[in-house]
């Protein structure tokens, strides 16, 4: 008697729970657990789920949500910075992999079309596995991580023309290949422009309105709607679901809602990704593998070793150092989820015979099963491929790191060696105070090290790196880069291990200032406010205010968390990003008591303004200004002006209470 859908889902969840719990206990990749669980419950295992089609349809949304969160990790400037790995390395990797695999297939006696299909399948890598594993290892923003993400993005873009190409070659009644590809390109450009326009003019105001409701369920529903709408739009224009979700995430990456959005989407992403990997496991028919194991072995070796070699060489020729190039190749040496889509198409159009298809499927699954291990130990594995010359070049850096860390005591750790980090290092050099800098830009670290600077390559969000540079002996830590997410990760980590260590961080505006304060930053240097203080300092000196008075004033403003500078009026014309952020948060606003206003004749305390959330700053009557608290018992009169401070929604509520 066949199982009902509910019973099948219960079996899938039960097996997923049991197998992944065992894998977690053994410290093995949970992805391998999902693949094994899928193979067990699938039609070729215990046959608890006779068909994986409906599971696979649902599981595709795991990739959608994954790519949405990847988009949240990046900004448009970061994406623009990845243009070289996306369009140069990525395109060459796909073309060369297809070309070499096709030539190998022809050499082994395969017809041209099946060989081309296998080459296209092999060219794809797994976005789901690579991004998730790199993110878990804090390597997503490392040089090899960014390089890998760039190549993966091009692969995602290349899927559609590849599918069109294979379908067109298999069906002679279709239009010319050139016209089909041009139409697909035009649709893709329209879809991208549409999402960018919607994201620019609609998404931020939408989330602002939703956030004012302070309803978590409504916020979560909005996140799901935006994610799936982006996926639907690109699919409507002939691109993949995942690419649309990535663009939607990219549009929200620059907003102040990105961190809350990421929190809300994570449970959906993780559950559906687990289903995705299980759906892949369900496709395997392990019972037939022993008949074709030589071909499976050959294809696995060609897929992993061949792709690794191609990507490593392309990255090396693109001016990446040998460690970065090798680690990129290792990270991407597997089959991918879009490879399964191409395989399904090839089987549907009878381009590949079923026995060929099972060989390709087995090779893909084995490479995916090996992938978490390769990615986890990519650094150790990469050292096996270094030439003696490369190792010799690395030894001075390693010796220098060891020499630097041995000398460290009561020093400053500077996270980030960009312009701000270098400026801080110059000042510390002047006063001869010990410090060490960490940065993930290998070229920058290499140049600075050659010049004798105390700079080490490393990710400061990784506890092992901070411990290696003497975190236990440090006097203070400075986070000089302007990346809110990474800064919060480091602060949360330090709050658990070193709560009393002084933590100086940098931010842009009021919104980031409050978040970082809440995360335990000892001192937050806000660029927007410090610029204003620098202007004021010079101006006060220019008008001959005593230096001691100026120093005291500046110290008071900073010690109070820039409270004086945060209270600003905003107009209708917003010209800067910083000002735009302020309008989304607290601001000053005067409220005039017009004739017939509810507040006329009432004492201030009778208005219950605290219940609205605003703060009453002052009351102005003619030329007189009454400060709050000191004159809270005064009766309000017509034409009095109340200056309040709060969020736009709170001010609107206060206006209704005051004016009636």
End-to-end CA distance of the chain: 69
Q: How many CB atoms lie within 10 A of CB 384?
A: 8
Query: For domain 586-659, which architecture applies?
Result: 2-Layer Sandwich (3.30)
Element at 71 (helix H, strand E) = helix 53-73
The pLDDT score that the predictor gives to residue 476 is 92
Cβ–Cβ < 8 Å for 275, 62:
yes
Please identify every stretch of the chain with a pLDDT value under 70, giving residue numbers as ranges.
1-3, 29, 49-59, 70, 73-82, 138, 141, 160, 164, 167-181, 184-185, 188, 200, 214, 238-240, 254-256, 258-259, 386-407, 442, 463-464, 509, 561-564, 566-585, 626-632
Specify burial of residue 380 (Cβ count, 10 A radius: 0-12, 13-18, 19+). exposed
Give the whole-angstrom CA distance, residue 410 versus residue 388: 37
pLDDT tens profile 46-96? 777 665 566 666 667 777 777 777 677 666 665 666 677 778 888 899 999
Write a three-state SS string for 313-367.
Answer: HHHHHCCCCHHHHHHHHHHCCCCCHHHHHHHHHHHHCCCCCHHHHHHHHHHHHHH
Yes or no: say if 558 and 513 are a contact pair by the CB < 8 Å rule.
Answer: no
Please tell me the chain's helix, strand, coil percentages from 3-state DSSP, rounded to the nearest 5: 70, 10, 25
CA-to-CA distance for 101 and 162, rounded, in angstroms? 15
Q: What is the rounded distance in angstroms from the CA atom of residue 162 to the CA atom of residue 187?
A: 15
pLDDT tens string 324-354: 889 999 999 988 877 877 887 787 777 888 7
DSSP 8-state symbol, 490: H
pLDDT score of 391: 45
What is the C-alpha separation between 233 and 148, in angstroms, rounded? 26
pLDDT of the residue at 176: 62
In DSSP terms, which residues pair with 208 in a beta bridge? none
| Nearest Cα residue to 479 out of 412, 528, 428, 431 | 412
Q: pTM value?
A: 0.55
pLDDT value for 92: 92
- Domain positions in the chain are 52-385, 389-561, 586-659
305 DSSP 8-state letter: I
Fold of 52-385: Na+/H+ antiporter like fold (1.20.1530)
Cβ contacts of 415 within 8 Å, gap of 6 or more: 421, 437, 438, 460, 477, 478, 479, 480, 481, 490
Q: What is the CATH number of domain 389-561?
A: 3.40.50.720
């Amino acid at each position: 008697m066949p199982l009902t859908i509910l019973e099948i889902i219960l079996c899938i969840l039960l097996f997923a729970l049991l197998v992944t719990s065992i894998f977690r206990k053994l410290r093995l990749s949970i992805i391998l657990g999902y693949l094994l669980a899928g193979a067990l419950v699938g039609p070729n295992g215990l046959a608890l789920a006779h068909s994986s089609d409906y599971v696979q349809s649902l599981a595709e949304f795991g990739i959608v949500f994954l790519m949405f969160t990847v988009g949240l990790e990046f900004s448009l400037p970061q994406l623009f910075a990845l243009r070289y790995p996306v369009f140069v390395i990525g395109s060459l990797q796909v073309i060369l992999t297809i070309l070499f695999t096709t030539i190998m297939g022809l050499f082994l006696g395969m017809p041209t079309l099946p060989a081309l299909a296998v080459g296209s399948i092999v060219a794809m890598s797994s976005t789901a596995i690579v991004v998730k594993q790199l993110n878990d290892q804090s390597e997503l923003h490392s040089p090899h991580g960014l390089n890998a993400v760039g190549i993966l993005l091009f692969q995602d873009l290349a899927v559609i023309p590849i599918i069109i190409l294979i379908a067109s070659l298999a069906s002679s009644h279709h239009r010319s290949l050139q016209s089909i590809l041009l139409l697909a390109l035009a649709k893709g450009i329209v879809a991208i422009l549409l999402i960018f326009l919607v994201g620019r003019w609609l998404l931020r105001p939408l989330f602002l309105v939703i956030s004012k409701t302070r309803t978590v369920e409504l916020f979560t529903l909005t996140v799901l709607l935006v994610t799936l709408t982006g996926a639907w739009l690109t699919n409507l224009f002939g691109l993949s679901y995942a690419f649309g979700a990535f663009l939607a995430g990219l549009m929200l990456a620059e907003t102040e809602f990105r961190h809350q959005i990421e929190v809300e989407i994570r449970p959906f992403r993780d559950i559906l990704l687990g289903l995705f990997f299980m759906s892949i496991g369900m496709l395997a028919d392990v019972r037939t593998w022993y008949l074709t194991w030589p071909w499976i072995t050959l294809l696995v070796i060609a897929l992993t070793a061949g792709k690794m070699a191609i990507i490593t060489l392309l990255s090396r020729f693109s001016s990446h150092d040998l460690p970065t190039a090798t680690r990129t190749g290792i990270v991407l040496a597997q089959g991918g989820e879009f490879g399964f889509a191409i395989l399904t198409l090839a089987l549907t159009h009878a381009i590949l015979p079923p026995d060929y298809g099972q060989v390709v499927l087995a090779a893909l699954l084995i490479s995916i099963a090996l992938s978490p291990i390769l990615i986890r130990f990519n650094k150790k594995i990469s050292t096996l491929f270094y030439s003696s010359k490369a190792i010799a070049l690395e030894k001075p850096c390693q010796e220098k790191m060891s020499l630097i860390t041995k000398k460290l005591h009561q020093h400053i750790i500077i996270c980030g060696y960009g312009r701000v980090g270098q400026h801080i290092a110059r000042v510390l050099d002047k006063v001869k105070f010990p410090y060490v800098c960490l940065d993930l830009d290998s070229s920058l670290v290499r140049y600075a090290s050659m010049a004798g600077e105390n700079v080490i390559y490393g990710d400061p969000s990784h506890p092992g790196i901070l411990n290696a540079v003497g975190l236990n002996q440090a006097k203070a830590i400075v986070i000089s880069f302007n990346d809110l997410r990474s800064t919060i990760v480091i602060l949360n980590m330090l709050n658990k291990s070193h709560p009393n260590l002084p933590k100086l961080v940098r931010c842009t505006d009021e919104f980031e200032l409050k978040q970082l304060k809440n995360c335990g930053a000892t001192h937050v240097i806000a660029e927007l406010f410090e610029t204003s203080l620098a202007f004021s300092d010079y101006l006060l000196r220019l008008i001959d205010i005593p230096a001691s008075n100026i120093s005291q004033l500046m110290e008071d403003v900073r010690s109070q968390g820039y409270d004086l500078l945060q209270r600003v009026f905003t107009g209708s014309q917003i010209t800067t990003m910083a000002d735009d952020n302020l309008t989304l948060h607290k601001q000053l606003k005067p409220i005039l008591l017009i004739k017939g206003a509810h507040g006329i004749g009432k004492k201030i305390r009778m208005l219950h303004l605290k219940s609205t959330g605003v703060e009453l700053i002052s009351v102005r009557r003619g030329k007189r200004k009454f400060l709050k608290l000191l004159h809270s018992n005064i009766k309000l009169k017509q034409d009095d002006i109340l200056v309040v401070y709060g969020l736009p929604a709170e001010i609107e509520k206060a206006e209704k209470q005051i004016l009636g």
